[in-house]
Chains A and B, each alone.
Chain A
Amino acid sequence: EDKVVQSPLSLVVHEGDTVTLNCSYEVTNFRSLLWYKQEKKAPTFLFMLTSSGIEKKSGRLSSILDKKELFSILNITATQTGDSAIYLCAVEANNAGNMLTFGGGTRLMVKP
């Protein structure tokens, strides 16, 4: 059974801090790992990672995948209150339905 574990469960930081969110996985026939940000409603897509060691970056957010050790990290530098959200990690396997297996999420709160 495919499994995704995120840590920490929750995190409280102050504006300007840098945070690192972790995602480890066990999946048969790995295809990709995805990060989403969920505020109040729909998760919004952040990154899709398929290759080890290649950092993906978007503004203050960056992510990298280690396919040997089976984990990924999401970094947020110079955090802002608008970064407060649940961050979801999901893995996609090469299966018939392109299904995603999600971790439990990390709830990030950024205080002013």
Chain B
Amino acid sequence: DGGITQSPKYLFRKEGQNVTLSCEQNLNHDAMYWYRQDPGQGLRLIYYSQIVNDFQKGDIAEGYSVSREKKESFPLTVTSAQKNPTAFYLCASSRFHSNQPQHFGDGTRLSIL
């Protein structure tokens, strides 16, 4: 089945530790996105990528980093510089410049130990 797979579903981070969230898609989509969702709030864009080896900062990129070495994969690293990382992280993908909506993975819930 085509879709977006995020892993792990739950992740715990110790103070000062970097953690990486995985996002893989087999939809042959060009564009991929990372969002953060806090309780009772909408989604805020962290980073996005339109093409392999290129990515752009979103509204809240500080404390995060990404890479796009393959079309299918767009991992997000939450660095120790992100002082409030506890949130629900959603990955999405879409065809670039089309009338197709973004499709989402099931998310990763990150908590601080």
Contacts and interface: CB of A to CB of B under 8 A. Distances in A.
Same complex for A and B? Answer: yes
B45 A32 contact: no
Nearest to B94: A98
Q: How large is the interface on B (under 10, 10 to 19, 20 to 34, 35 or more residues)?
A: 20 to 34
Interface string A9-39: 1000000000000000000000010101000
Contact of A96 (B50, B94, B103): B50
A99 B61 CA distance: 14
A32 B102 CA distance: 12
A93 interface: no
B78 to A, nearest CB: 19
A25 to B, nearest CB: 12
Contacts, number: 62
B56 A97 contact: yes
Interface string A72-100: 00000000000000001010000011111
Q: How large is the interface on A (under 10, 10 to 19, 20 to 34, 35 or more residues)?
A: 20 to 34
A42 B42 contact: no
Contacts of A45: 101-103
A4 B44 CA distance: 12
26 contacts: A6-B42, A41-B107, A42-B90, A42-B107, A43-B43, A43-B104, A48-B101, A50-B99, A88-B42, A90-B42, A90-B43, A96-B50, A98-B31, A98-B50, A98-B96, A98-B97, A98-B102, A99-B45, A99-B48, A100-B45, A101-B45, A102-B42, A102-B43, A104-B41, A105-B40, A107-B40
